[in-house]
Amino acid sequence: SQILEMAGFDPLQDSIDNFVYVHDDGDKTIVSVDVTGSGGAANGVDVAILNGVIGVTVEDILAKAA
């Protein structure tokens, strides 16, 4: 709905955020995916390491890939 769009709700992004996570570790960012689908970062499996990259979000990564 238009109200949700105006509030910044993006159903695709919100869905991605439920199973893809990033966290900084020193001078790198680790990208993890919750392969169980439970929606918890604790169940994440590391799938990528971005050496020399810190402070990015899932949204940042997706924007660069587009």
Task: Report the mean per-residue pLDDT for the chain.
Answer: 79
- In one-letter notation, the amino acid at residue 16 is I
**How confident is the model over 32-54, as pLDDT tens digits?**
988 876 667 777 899 999 999 99
Three-class DSSP category at 10: coil
pLDDT band of 61, cuts 50, 70, 90? confident
Three-class DSSP category at 29: strand
Identify the bridge partners of residue 1 per DSSP, sorted by sequence position: none
**How confident is the model over 22-37, as pLDDT tens digits?**
999 999 999 998 887 6
CB atoms within 10 A of CB 8: 8
41: which DSSP letter? G
Residue 50 φ/ψ, nearest 5 degrees:
-105, 90
